[in-house]
Amino acid sequence: MPGLGASFGRGAATNTQQDFINSDCILIMGSNMAEAHPVGFRWPMKAKERGATLIHVDPRYSRTSAHCDLFVGIRTGSDIAFLGGLINYVLTHERWFKEYVLAYTNASVLIEQGYKDTEDLDGLFSGFNRESRSYDASEGHWGYEGSPGDRPDDAEETREAAGRGGQGIHGYGLMGGAISHGQPRSEMTAAPAGEPPRDPTLKHPRCVMQILRRHFARYTPETVARVCGCSAEEFTRVAELLCENSGRDRTSMIVYAVGWTQHTTGVQMIRAASILQLLLGNIGRPGGGIMAMRGHSSIQGSSDVPTLYDLLPGYLPQPAADPGHDTLDGYIEHEGLPTGYWVHFRKFVVSLLKAYYGEAAQPENDFRYDWLPRIDGDYSQLLTFERMSRGEMTGYLVLGQNPAGGGPNAGLHRAGLRQLDWLVVVDWFPTETATFWKNDPDAPTPDQIKTEVFLIPAASSPEKEGTLTNTQRLLQWHSKALDPPDDCRSDAWFVYNLGKRLRALYSGSTDPKDQPLLNLTWDYDHKSPQRLPDGTLSRIEGEPDIDRILREINGRKLDEIDPRTGRPRLLSGFSELKDDGSTDSGCWLYGGVYPEPERNRAADRKVNPGQGIQPDWGFAWPDNRRIMYNRASADPEGRPWSDRKKLIWWDEAQQRWVGHDEPDFEPEKPPGYRPAPDAEGMEAIAGDEPFIMKPDGVAWLFAPGAIKDGPLPAHYEPVESPVGNRLYPDVAHSPTVRLLRGPLNPLADTPTPEFPVVAFTFRLTEHYLSGPMSRFNGWLNELQPEMFVELSPELAEERGIEHGGWLTVRSPRGRIEARAMVTRRIRPLLVEGRTVHQIGLPFHWGYAGASVGGNANDLTSVLADPNVSMHEAKTFTCQVEPGRLAGPVARPTVPPTAWPDTRPIPETPTASQPEGKFVRSEPPQ
């Protein structure tokens, strides 16, 4: 997400899946969309039917590749080399969209004098601190020339803040341009006197375009071929197809998923794709953009209204235990921006605090900003489990997750769980996490495990209501069809009632530390008993009213009573938010989802056949805009770039932006609008600057901050790789990655003959994630009943492995056995002049369920990239040997029954028997 956020302003997919049909070329890379998102893959297939070209660049020939016009096999983790090659191709062949790039990106902006590129420093950017293995963007002079950061000797206190707020805390906002030092982010990009200096001729050696050209010059087709293992011809064909299908009249789309994000360089892969799409002029336009396919249902929603430790709802950074964040004003000064949409930062924060603390939040007490918890370290999942494995935690609550099966280096996760005193698992089935104490074949016997485990039965999705926010920021409401069975309850019920009981325990307390809990808005009871669709009353007591929660998220005008309901009037959108405490909103971004009583727009289900944009199906944030930055679909004067690709345009007569989508722009700001030099907020955004979340209104080819591992993407090898870094021989892997090496997490971070085979994990359509929902289901188990490993016939022959036989895969972290799927869909690659074998492992199995087997995540490692603490499960090195493992093997923990039941198929209703008498045997014709 920071990859997209840093480039465009918002960390979310730019377009919608339905918009695939408007695309002329779709590059799928780092995604196995047909297998992992089969329902969404309908739209690329429709685009193909309409004549679009589909390209798949991936380590494995998958069900996605089968439907693409072109498949290019590359080595896992070499994506930046490939994308860098594409960028270089576009630049050297002058195939970039000149008007677009000049007007809508920071290509012409001059960067500070002291900035040094990887070209100058042999693979590192300026500002690298070898001790802390981190960058300081201001020391590295990544900023725009003349910006406040452009001071040769920075203020001492700022440096000090950098030390405290540096590695470990990334709570400074991921979206509008997070900073990697303690300086207020407002000072990073805004030149003191209005516009930053630019060179519209793009000749200045320090302008972004020239830096870009120099940076990517070494990514030639030949280099790409040597690093990625594809042929230079294949690469050039991809480049040509993208160039041919981009421009005024045509658009190309890039699709990625966890095949990019789950790398130590994942954020930079997305940055590289962003740069490529900006150069080709594909952002903000129909059939263009970058589609981030999420790895899980409502993952987008869980970052919007976050389950992340370092964010508050709506991408407001969680305050840090840092002097700069001590007061509300300080926090806003650090995290808000004076220009662009983030100028409304105070409104968002105050409205959120009003939603949290209601009456207790008043202007005179800073709306109880002081009650918000401060973060003082990295509490991301991986680091938490690392701490847990060292015995530093006592209890843990797991809802809808299976770390013991699906966590990278799952063995470390299980070791962590064994150190706990108590564990609560809320799930449908006894998963790996719930049964680690008795079913893990590698674990000590249950009497040696001290953890007390509580398995709470959860309701399934048809048994509860709520919204899911999907890949394209689309909120879709789902109704409850029936009550959950027995003691199963929705996650919302669990959390709501847990909160109620905690509040009851603390009731009457005057201790200041208990006040946030006691004053929290926690009143979501149903006003009248909940009814099921068949009209009967729900049997569940204490279920919170999700509709009320959605209304709270939408926001209310507290000083105005709606005569229809007698309650505060609902906000029609986030533009109505105020910073004086007269509005509340649980998540400003979702403003407008519930604009009026009885009007839940997430439940809208109207389809306009044949269109890419479906404005009446669900509700997309922000403000139901389906294609973000769509101001860029028109030229600087406000006319569509071409008739074929028109989306919104400036209507002179109406003096507003009109078209097929909600404008992601001030609807009445004319193209010719120019801000006054001292303009603030949205007024500082000119009429031809489409990226309104950016302080300078344009997209960032060069990210002067925001990203912790460099302003431009550079190819680094995965931490575990059989080859060195050809592009920057001195820097093997990402210089800022945190290795988290330990006895439970050994790494082969230098090429070693012990682990010569490259492995990656992948997903099958038939199973879901680590299998907690699918491996207990007979209908799914029969479709993919066993763990297998895909390998090439060449590797199989080399190792004496037979198709269908057993093999063992060993990595520094563990070893598993699996059946051998010898297939030509996996091919050995020629990398750096030698053969590199890759194997693919589905990561769906574990030791719990009706179908059990080797867990690919017992082999993967725990690492943390500097931006989002992401691991690198998509690539690691291993050894492959024939035969089975010695020692205990997992046995099914539930009998593999012919679920759902074995009763005979029902008899035909009498009414279905047209034939009761003598018949002739001829067909009725």
Partner 1 sequence: MPNPVELPSPMNAAGYATRRVTKPPNWHELVAFDMLFNNMTTGLFLVAAVGDLMSRPAFAPLTRLAYPMALLFLTIDLACLVLDLGHRFRFHHMLRVFKPGSPMSLGTWSLTAYSIPLGLLATIEILERVGIGGVPTWLRTVLIVSGIPFAMGSAMYKGVLFSTTSQPGWKDARWLGGYLTNSAIAIGCAELLAIADVDGQGPVLSIRTSLLALLAINLGFLVALRAELRPVFRTLKGGPRLDQMLILGAVVGVLVPAMLILVSETVPAIAVAILDGIAIALVLAGNFLVRRSIVMLPHHENDDGVVGRWDGGS
Partner 2 sequence: MTTRELEVPATAPPSGPVATILGPFLPVDRPEPRTPTGFYTDTTICIGCKACEVACKQWNQLPSDGMHWSGDSYDNTESLSATSWRHVKFIEQFASAGTQGPSRWLMMSDVCKHCTAAPCQHACPTGAIIYNEFSNVYIQPDICNGCAYCIAACPFGVITRSNLDGHAHKCTLCYDRQRDGLVPACAKACPTASIQFGPIDELRDRARRRVEELKSRGTSSAYLYGDAPTENYSNLHSFYLLVDRPSTYGLPESPFNPWLRMRGDYLRSLFGGLAGIVVLLIVWTLRMP
**Interface residues for partner 1 in 863-922 (CB under 8 A)?**
915, 917-922
841 touches which of partner 1, partner 2, none (CB within 5 to 8 A by kind)? none
Q: Which residue has the tokens 């682990």?
A: 755
- CA dihedral sign of residues 641, 643, 648, 652: positive
Q: How far is CA 588 from CA 206, 545, 608, in A?
A: 38, 20, 28
The answer to whether residue 883 forms part of the interface with partner 2 (CB under 8 A) is no
The footprint of partner 2 on this chain (CB under 8 A) covers a number of residues equal to: 73
786 touches which of partner 1, partner 2, none (CB within 5 to 8 A by kind)? partner 2
64 vs 138 by CB, closer to partner 2: 64
The answer to whether residue 925 forms part of the interface with partner 1 (CB under 8 A) is no
- CA dihedral sign of residues 299, 300, 301, 306: positive
521 vs 765 by CB, closer to partner 2: 765
265 touches which of partner 2, partner 1, none (CB within 5 to 8 A by kind)? none
Phi, psi of 912 (to 5 degrees): -90, 15
Q: How far is CA 271 from CA 87, 170, 200, in A?
A: 11, 18, 23
* Strands 53-58, 25-29: pairing kind: parallel
Residues 771-810 that bind partner 1 (CB under 8 A): 793, 802-806
Q: Which residue has the tokens 């160039």?
A: 243
Residues 849-868 that bind partner 2 (CB under 8 A): 850-851
CB of 158 to partner 2, least distance (A): 52
Residue 892 half-sphere exposure, CB side, CA atoms within 13 Å?
13
CB of 250 to partner 2, least distance (A): 18
Strand partners, 649: 658
Distance from C-alpha of 378 to C-alpha of 751, rounded to nearest angstrom: 30
* Contacting residue, 780, 789, 841, 873, with partner 2 by CB under 8 A: 780
Give the burial string for 142-169 (b: 16+ CB within 10 Å, else e). bbbbbbbbbeeebeeebbebbeebbbbb
The answer to whether residue 534 forms part of the interface with partner 2 (CB under 8 A) is no
201 touches which of partner 1, partner 2, none (CB within 5 to 8 A by kind)? none
Distance from C-alpha of 51 to C-alpha of 20, rounded to nearest angstrom: 12
Phi-psi region of 802 (alpha: psi -120 to 50; beta: other; left: phi over 0): beta
CB of 819 to partner 1, least distance (A): 9
Strand partners, 457: 427
* Contacting residue, 828, 846, 854, 866, with partner 2 by CB under 8 A: 828
Residues 214-243 that bind partner 2 (CB under 8 A): none
* Contacting residue, 263, 347, 827, 837, with partner 2 by CB under 8 A: 827
Residues 389-448 that bind partner 2 (CB under 8 A): none
Distance from C-alpha of 661 to C-alpha of 16, rounded to nearest angstrom: 12
Residue type, 186: S
The answer to whether residue 206 forms part of the interface with partner 2 (CB under 8 A) is no
- Each as own residue / partner, the long-range contacts of residues 434-439 (CB below 8 Å, 24 or more positions apart, any chain) are 434/848, 435/847, 435/848, 435/893, 436/404, 439/847, 439/848, 439/890, 439/893
Mapping DSSP to helix (H, G, I), strand (E, B) and coil, where does residue 128 land?
strand
The answer to whether residue 108 forms part of the interface with partner 2 (CB under 8 A) is no
802 touches which of partner 2, partner 1, none (CB within 5 to 8 A by kind)? partner 1
Complete edge-to-edge strand list for the sheet that includes strand 619-620: 466-469, 474-478, 619-620
Residue type, 423: L
* Contacting residue, 303, 401, 781, 867, with partner 2 by CB under 8 A: 781
* Contacting residue, 535, 677, 833, 900, with partner 2 by CB under 8 A: 900
E-strand spans in 720-784?
757-762
Would you say 93 and 243 are in contact if contact means Cβ atoms under 8 Å apart?
Answer: yes
CB of 882 to partner 2, least distance (A): 15
Question: What is the per-residue binding string for partner 2 in 787-826, x denoting contact by CB under 8 A?
Answer: -x---xxx--------xx--------------x-x-xxx-
CB of 925 to partner 2, least distance (A): 7
Residue type, 665: F
* Contacting residue, 20, 71, 367, 429, with partner 2 by CB under 8 A: 71
- What residue spans of 709-813 are helical by DSSP H? 778-781, 793-799
Distance from C-alpha of 266 to C-alpha of 747, rounded to nearest angstrom: 19
The answer to whether residue 49 forms part of the interface with partner 1 (CB under 8 A) is no
448 touches which of partner 1, partner 2, none (CB within 5 to 8 A by kind)? none
CB of 796 to partner 1, least distance (A): 10
Q: What angle, 0 to 180 degrees and rounded to 10, lies between the N-to-C axes of helices 345-357 and 328-335?
A: 140
Residues 718-777 that bind partner 2 (CB under 8 A): 764-766
445 vs 925 by CB, closer to partner 2: 925
The answer to whether residue 391 forms part of the interface with partner 1 (CB under 8 A) is no
* Contacting residue, 8, 15, 26, 61, with partner 2 by CB under 8 A: 61
The residues, ordered by sequence, that sit 6+ positions from 735 with a Cβ below 8 Å of its Cβ are 123, 124, 128, 133, 709, 716
CB of 19 to partner 2, least distance (A): 17
Number of residues in the chain: 925
CB of 920 to partner 1, least distance (A): 7
155 vs 889 by CB, closer to partner 1: 889
CB of 857 to partner 2, least distance (A): 20
Question: What is the per-residue binding string for partner 2 in 20-59, x denoting contact by CB under 8 A?
Answer: --------------xx--xxxxx--x--xx-x--------
DSSP 8-state code for residue 112: P
Structure tokens of 413? Answer: 């996760």
CB of 716 to partner 2, least distance (A): 30
CB of 871 to partner 2, least distance (A): 27
513 vs 917 by CB, closer to partner 1: 917
Strand partners, 791: 822
806 touches which of partner 1, partner 2, none (CB within 5 to 8 A by kind)? partner 1
Distance from C-alpha of 310 to C-alpha of 379, rounded to nearest angstrom: 8
Residues 348-387 that bind partner 2 (CB under 8 A): none
920 touches which of partner 2, partner 1, none (CB within 5 to 8 A by kind)? partner 1
The footprint of partner 1 on this chain (CB under 8 A) covers a number of residues equal to: 18
209 vs 791 by CB, closer to partner 1: 791
* Contacting residue, 119, 463, 782, 798, with partner 2 by CB under 8 A: 782
The answer to whether residue 610 forms part of the interface with partner 2 (CB under 8 A) is no
- CA dihedral sign of residues 677, 683, 689, 692: positive
234 vs 386 by CB, closer to partner 2: 234
CB of 810 to partner 1, least distance (A): 20
The residues, ordered by sequence, that sit 6+ positions from 136 with a Cβ below 8 Å of its Cβ are 127, 129, 162, 180, 181
680 touches which of partner 1, partner 2, none (CB within 5 to 8 A by kind)? none
The helix or strand, by DSSP H or E, that contains position 278, with its residue range, turns out to be: helix 266-279
Which residue in 629, 627, 660 sits closest to 643, CA to CA? 660
Strand partners, 339: 681
Residue type, 190: A
The answer to whether residue 496 forms part of the interface with partner 2 (CB under 8 A) is no
Residues 803-862 that bind partner 1 (CB under 8 A): 803-806, 821-825
CB of 723 to partner 1, least distance (A): 28
Q: Which residue has the tokens 């959950």?
A: 484
CB of 805 to partner 1, least distance (A): 4
164 vs 819 by CB, closer to partner 1: 819
Q: Which residue has the tokens 């509005």?
A: 583
Interface with partner 1 by CB under 8 A: which residues? 793, 802-806, 821-825, 915, 917-922
